[in-house]
Structure 1
Amino acid sequence: MKRNVFIGLFLCAVISIEAQIQTPALSPAAKLTQTVGLTEITVEYSRPSMRGRKIFGNLVPYNKLWRTGANARTKITLSDDVTISGDTLKKGVYAIFTIPKANSWDVIFYNEADGSGSIPTLNDNKIALQANVPTEEIPVSIETFTISFDDLKPDGGTLGFMWENTYVGVKIAVPSEAKAMASIESVMNGPSANDYYNAASYFRSSGKDLKRALTWITKATELNKNAFWMFREKSLIHAALGDKKAAIEAAEKSLAIAEKYNNADYIKMNKESIAQWRK
């Protein structure tokens, strides 16, 4: 009886020790969050490595469904509706499946994000969006499968897939302009100096109504007379409107305040602009 009890305690101790053992995963998990314009996009996936193997056309066969990584399904979360290849992908969570081919990939956003790492038989009714994207050959060998966000702009970016010598870039357009305009219209009911400044800066940088931008930046500088960055923005708007005299006056005001606060960047920018506008 005592012998059995001893054996039982020994086995429990062994199981407990084994339960605490941790080893590194061959395909470690990764989570990538990127703000694209005003939209937040998160990708969760596992990252297999080449380890001396031929990948595409071998380990990952051509013309076969791939889970786009390893282990559990690769997931993407969108905070807003986005546009891919001219079609709308609603905000939400999706699995990303792909069908690699020699010269292109079919990239599939699937409505069933959770699930095991096994390759499912896709239900056409659950395919939210499918896009065919050409492959690009890259001159260096990427050892570990990598998903990235590339070519970021205010209105979109590229969701990149890289492994071995292959790169696939899925262009994603985000609703930045609609969200920005809605925010501006909402805030302008009771704006602060920063609200006026942000709205004016956005209008100038995105090529919108410059006269409206000038009205807003003028109100901003009236509310905050020591904001050298606001007077700098005012000078740029005047210059964009072709009024160099007013641009120089605003830049000189920005320069004087920047010198008072010893801001080297704005001192340099204003001096360069004034010299250029005086030519």
Structure 2
Amino acid sequence: MKSKTTLIGSISLFVCFLFATTSFAQLNTPRGSQKASVSQTVGISEVSVTYSRPSVNGREIWGKLVPYGMNNFGFGTAKLSPWRAGANENTVITFTHDATVGGKPIKAGTYGLHMELKESGDVTIIFSSNSTAWGSYFYEPSEDVLRVNVSSKEIPHVELLTYNFISVDANSATLALQWGKKEIPFKVGFDVTNIVLADIRKKMQDQPGFNRQTWEQAANYALNNGGDLNEALKWVDGAIAGQFFSKQTFANTQIKAAILMKQNKKTEALAAMDAVLPTATVFEIHQYGRQLIGQGMNDKALEVFKYNAKKNKGTWPVHYGLARAYSAKGDHKSAAKHLKKALANAPNAASKGRVQANLDKANKGESIN
């Protein structure tokens, strides 16, 4: 009898323990406000937001469900809390590189995102170093990293709370919270050029640095995006001679010449190009001549096009190039003469059509460039 009693007691204890344990279990069931994330690349940087999406569901949102100002929600350690800018856990925002929000700097990292709304329509966006707390119940002002004041806008109804990137350009993106009939936008910016150049310097110390094209790409990026021209020249010189798989080509010499031109070293730039003209194809020389016309160096362009015609006699598009050079110098009669020759050896109907259109312009005394 005693043994039976002990067994019953053990079973009862196990059942009690089972219920006690399962009462604290976290089951994976659907939430009322589903979790979502959105991200946007700017240059090589990324800004992303993870949040939960409540619906309006016929409720009055602004000033009611989401109260204005700072409030005591009656839970947690916060005396006064802003809105969590979503539902459930902290809404969090991540910047992969140092950024600006509303023109103010913020370091790369992940932050808790909160908002203090005012009845006037103004909103203070709050970035907190605490990104793991539940909602705003444990908000602590001393953990604020950045506060940015913005203005909300009225929009057509949006049922589910949504974060959207409503505009993107080369250096920034505007992120907006949209819910009900309110939109709260704020602009995130990155110093794209310096971020990219820093990444290039780092990668050139690793495996990509053992590739000539890497050095050419680095120099070309710095040239065209406001980088240090001396550094760009060093990189392209590394591609041309003496480093790893370096080799001088017409293409990388063009990059070097463009850097020298930007440094007001015109004589050096033209000399560098003259040295590689014998290695260039008929089309490379043609494009170089057109580039010279675009830079206003019409005499040099004519010299280059004449060289192309001599080196690649009778081939397409040497006469077309000469026609462009003469047109740039205002000699429309000579331009028409070479356009007629170009028409005869144009390789296809599309090319013939373009030459004929320019021949018509030259016969009228109009520029074809």
Indicate the SS of the match to 1:97: strand
2:108 counterpart (71, 91, 95): 91
2:131 counterpart (108, 113, 117): 113
Is contact 1:73-1:96 (8 Å) kept?
yes
Bigger Rg, which one? 2
The C-alpha deviation readout for 1:144-201, integer Å capped at 9, x for no partner, is 1111223222211112111111111111111211122334566497663365257536
1:146 and 2:146 correspond: no
Indicate the SS of the match to 2:138: coil
Aligned length: 247
After superposition, the Cα gap between the structure-2 partners of 1:242 and 1:167, relative to the gap in structure 1 and judged at 3 Å, is farther
The separation in 2 between residues aligned to 1:241 and 1:165, in whole angstroms, is 52
The separation in 2 between residues aligned to 1:183 and 1:22, in whole angstroms, is 41
Partner of 1:134: 151
Is contact 1:94-1:112 (8 Å) kept?
yes
For structure 1, the 5+ residue unaligned runs are: 254-266
Is contact 1:110-1:129 (8 Å) kept?
yes
TM-score (norm 2): 0.53
The C-alpha deviation readout for 1:188-221, integer Å capped at 9, x for no partner, is 97663365257536744x57899x89x9683188
After superposition, the Cα gap between the structure-2 partners of 1:77 and 1:185, relative to the gap in structure 1 and judged at 3 Å, is closer
Partner of 1:193: 213
Partner of 2:30: 24
Indicate the SS of the match to 2:152: strand
The C-alpha deviation readout for 1:64-106, integer Å capped at 9, x for no partner, is 3100000000111221111123321111111001012232210
Deviates more, 1:180-189 or 1:150-159: 180-189
1:168 counterpart (184, 187, 190): 184
For 1:1-279, what aligned pairs fall within 5 Å after superposition? Answer: 23-64=29-70, 65-102=82-119, 103-123=121-141, 125-138=142-155, 140-183=156-199, 187=204, 192-193=212-213, 196-197=216-217, 199-200=219-220, 203-204=223-224, 206=225, 218-219=251-252, 241=295, 278-279=368-369
The C-alpha deviation readout for 1:207-239, integer Å capped at 9, x for no partner, is 7899x89x96831889xx99x9x99x9899767
For structure 2, the 5+ residue unaligned runs are: 71-81, 237-249, 255-275, 306-316, 319-349, 362-366
Give the RMSD, CA atoms, in angstroms.
4.7
For 1:162, give the aligned amino acid. Q
After superposition, the Cα gap between the structure-2 partners of 1:208 and 1:179, relative to the gap in structure 1 and judged at 3 Å, is closer
For 1:278, give the aligned amino acid. I
Compare relative contact order (CA 8 Å, sep 6+) and give the higher one, 1 or 2.
1
After superposition, the Cα gap between the structure-2 partners of 1:219 and 1:93, relative to the gap in structure 1 and judged at 3 Å, is same
Deviates more, 1:237-246 or 1:68-77: 237-246
After superposition, the Cα gap between the structure-2 partners of 1:74 and 1:21, relative to the gap in structure 1 and judged at 3 Å, is closer
Indicate the SS of the match to 1:62: coil
After superposition, the Cα gap between the structure-2 partners of 1:203 and 1:92, relative to the gap in structure 1 and judged at 3 Å, is same
Indicate the SS of the match to 2:252: helix
Indicate the SS of the match to 1:66: coil
Indicate the SS of the match to 1:218: helix
Is contact 1:107-1:130 (8 Å) kept?
yes
Partner of 1:262: none
The separation in 2 between residues aligned to 1:239 and 1:170, in whole angstroms, is 44
Is contact 1:76-1:96 (8 Å) kept?
yes
Give 1:44 deviation, angstroms: 1.3
The separation in 1 between residues aligned to 2:112 and 2:49, in whole angstroms, is 10
TM-score (norm 1): 0.67
For 1:84, give the aligned amino acid. V
Is contact 1:135-1:168 (8 Å) kept?
yes
Q: Percent identity?
A: 27
Query: Where is the helix percentage greater, Structure 1 or Structure 2?
Result: 2
The separation in 2 between residues aligned to 1:146 and 1:202, in whole angstroms, is 38
Indicate the SS of the match to 1:180: helix
Indicate the SS of the match to 1:182: helix
Give 1:58 deviation, angstroms: 1.6
For 2:137, give the aligned amino acid. I
The separation in 1 between residues aligned to 2:127 and 2:62, in whole angstroms, is 21
